[in-house]
Structure 1
């Protein structure tokens, strides 16, 4: 089974890129194949609502989203992490979410995949829950099975994330819950 980790941060090797790497490491230790999508190394433009994907055609925007469609479609589980930008996910991650409408319009390709979310804010209560909720809404629209950390919404961290022991525990619990559900679905 395959888990894809998406870091929604435009900063290379920042808190979110590092967190996704660490969480995918846990999934690998549990026997899962993993792959990443790092917004920091991608150019993904916003959806223009042209409607072409609704006709079963390829998205006409020529950018780094094309291989992301395949990665999302092939994954069994999807973990998404975003920094909190003005109370919610980054614009770059929102562009990826909006562009994923192609997968919905072309057969609900993310339906019944297991999804989990994490967010990193500047303080303990910096908008992480709202950001996780926004990611969960994207997952629900695709018909995904959404999991949290076993007691709450998902991974809720404050920066610097590597020093946030309480937050790291919620992220680890989240990835382990995602793995548990995938294993139950085998």
Structure 2
């Protein structure tokens, strides 16, 4: 089974990518195959609401999203993370979410996948829960099965995420919860 980690940060090597790397390291340690999408390495243009994907089973915009479509479908679970930008996820990850509509319009291809959300903000209460909620809303719209960290909404850290011991515990717990649910699905 495969877990896809998505970092919605335009900054390479930053807090959000560190959170995804930690989550995927845990998944690998538990025997899962992993893959990742780093927005910092992919230019994904915003959806133009042209409607072409209603008729065709593809988006007419050819950019970094082209490879992401297959990765989303191939994954059994998706862990999506974003830094908080003015109280919500980045425009870059929102573009990915909007462009994934082709999977909804053609047989709900992401339905019943496990989904988990993570966010990093500038302070302990820096908009992380609202950002996680937006990510989870995207997952709900696709019909995914959402898990948290076992007691709350998901992985929530403040920057610098690797120095936030309390926050990184929620990242670890979220990754383990995703793995636990996938293990249950194997039985």
Structure 1 runs of 4+ off > 3 angstroms?
none
* Alignment correspondent of 1:152: 152
Query: Where in structure 2 are there 5+ consecutive unaligned residues?
Result: none
* Alignment correspondent of 1:43: 43
Q: CA deviation at 1:57?
A: 3.1
| Kept in 2: contact 1:56–1:106 (CA 8 A) | no
Query: Where in structure 1 are there 5+ consecutive unaligned residues?
Result: none
In the aligned structure 2, how far is the partner of 1:58 from the partner of 1:174? 32
| Kept in 2: contact 1:9–1:16 (CA 8 A) | yes
In the aligned structure 1, how far is the partner of 2:107 from the partner of 2:52? 14
Q: 1:83-106: per-residue Cα shift (whole Å, max 9, x none)?
A: 000001000000000000011001
Q: CA deviation at 1:176?
A: 0.3
Secondary structure at 1:72's aligned position in 2? Answer: helix
The equivalences for 1:1-186 within 5 A come to 1-186=1-186
TM-score norm. by structure 2 comes to 0.98
Q: CA deviation at 1:147?
A: 0.2
Measured on the aligned residues, the alpha-carbon RMSD in Å equals: 0.6
In the aligned structure 1, how far is the partner of 2:157 from the partner of 2:136? 17
In the aligned structure 1, how far is the partner of 2:173 from the partner of 2:19? 13
Secondary structure at 2:36's aligned position in 1? Answer: strand
In the aligned structure 2, how far is the partner of 1:75 from the partner of 1:22? 18
Secondary structure at 1:149's aligned position in 2? Answer: coil
